[in-house]
Structure 1
Amino acid sequence: MRVSSSIDSIYQNNVTLAQDLKSFVDTHIISNKYEKWHYISRIKSLESFALKLERGGISSSSTSLDDFFACTIVVENSTQIDKAKDLVNKFCDIKCKRPNSNNFTHKQSSSFEFDDLRLYVTIKDDVTVPNEQIKKIVFEIQIKTFLFHAWTIAVHDLTYKSDEINWGKQRVAYQIRAVLEQAECAIADILNLSKLPQLDKNNKETKALNKILNVFKNHFNKIDLPSDLVRLCSNTSLLLNQFEVKENQLDAFLKAETSAGRGTKMLGLSPYQIVLLGIFYQCEDKLLSVLMGEIKLSIKIVITRELLDFIQPDIRKFILDNSIPGIIVLA
């Protein structure tokens, strides 16, 4: 695209300053955002800058180049948007935002056009920056969810940066956005939705896993349990099923192990490894059948060095001296 030399001059006069701003903002947000969040930033290309300037969308003043540099913080879902705003507030003054209100919109109910949160900000006066001039620049920070970010990536170039104007493509793009908006609503209100009569149900698997979950919560401090309790309960369920221990027997199982000086007193073992150690003592007949090859394991059993130290000496020796299908020794 041909660009007028006067427009090119404005662009070149501001691009270095924008690069300094980008470097500062990138460093600050990346070092302070939550690990699961995503962050991207860009300096507007000369061609895009010229197109916007030609329609009067940009002032020639460097302090008004609100779209010269812009960045986006992508969060898991809409419940995290306020946390992202708090991050921005720590080093920026918010001059204005769009949409301006959380509970009022200019859109018709039948419209699903782009309206992700955009904050127009400047660097706070009391924040140390490598170049004081960048504090004068108003720039844009978008905050959006992963679903809407994916929508932008998938359809933006197809609908906005295309070599054709196609009503049908735009129609499909906004139909997709409407579906994603419904999904975002469901995610944000997932707890209440799960209590609806149509969804407030159980099945055999979830009932069994919840029994295991309750036992773990009753026997272990929260700090001793993993954040992924679903995986722990699922792994434990497979182990119990292998040795025909019912979920409602796990409570008595752990109490017996703890009374014997093992169980929750084994501080060097994970909750799963404590249950596995209990299998060696509470289910010895079944265990021997496995070791002798009479029962084939349907799961993999990993025995750590720490666990091995507490297994009965004769069984420990047998495991170390023989290759048993399904048993992996990390010793």
Structure 2
Amino acid sequence: MREFLTFIENDVEPSANGIAIFACFGADEFFETAQIIPSFPNNRVFDFERPHLFPLIRTMEQNPPFMVLWSDTNKAEIYVFGGEDSMDAETESDKQVEEIENVVTRRSKAGGWSQARFQRRIENFHLQHAKETVETVEKLMRETRIDKLILSGDEAVIMPHLLPQLSKEVEEKVIGHLNLSQYSTEDEIYQAAIELFRTNDAKDDEEAVERAIGASKAAAGMGVTGIENTLTALLNGQVEEMVISASFDVINYSAKKVKKVLKAYAPGDDSLSIDDLPDAREPRQIADELLVQALNTSAKVRFIEESDLLKQIGGVAAVLRYSMNSAQ
């Protein structure tokens, strides 16, 4: 208890909205914490013989970092929301802004040949600005390993300059556009962006479930459904991507069959005590075991918010890297 109080009083980061504490006070005493930017949906205490990882992993997976680029013809603001603190990167220089403003002012007074010349200068400035903005975005996305990008700005004015500068790799990561002005606050940008992100995420959830179920029904046998089959595939290192319900309400399985799978793949000899294995009667421990095995074998994990998508198959499914049938 002393360690717990000391941590709460002295070590909690101001930016942390979620805190997970794993503790054991006994012969194998340990005290580990995780502080994250996203918040947990509710406060919970679990009493198990092993750490309960599901809430932490679910919260992190459901709140990945994503980037929002707001731009006009002479200024850009880049925000990263989600897994990290939001940050703002300016991609303009005072000199460049002043020069563009001067050109725009003079353009209204020019005509004929001079008007065309000034127009070309403006277009060149806009193009250079777009190139510099995209270079900054792509660099940040590489460094932070962000794979979701939302573009914001006047689609008629800046997007024709901006979009052609995107590499194919980054273009494929664009999940949508927002039409926001330069006077939008960071909170307004975030609220509009998170709504778009969640809509896109729900669509991706449906596609991921369809992909896994479709693969399980195909003749090639490159997919599995249900706890028992998915756990077996994970223990074999077969799983490429696992989809699992974010709600325990639809996680359903035969404890007897799961216990048999765990025992069959347990390390060591037959003298291994069943107490050393997850409790097959406890869905939370079995869900944790699925996640641990997925992480240990570098399988992608996707939590599905709409529980009905997985209700009929026990709450979990997976796409496989290879089929045991094809390997034989």
- TM-score with structure 2 setting the length: 0.23
Q: Which has the higher helix share?
A: 1
Q: Which has the higher contact order (CA 8 A, sep 6+)?
A: 2
- TM-score with structure 1 setting the length: 0.22
Larger radius of gyration: 1
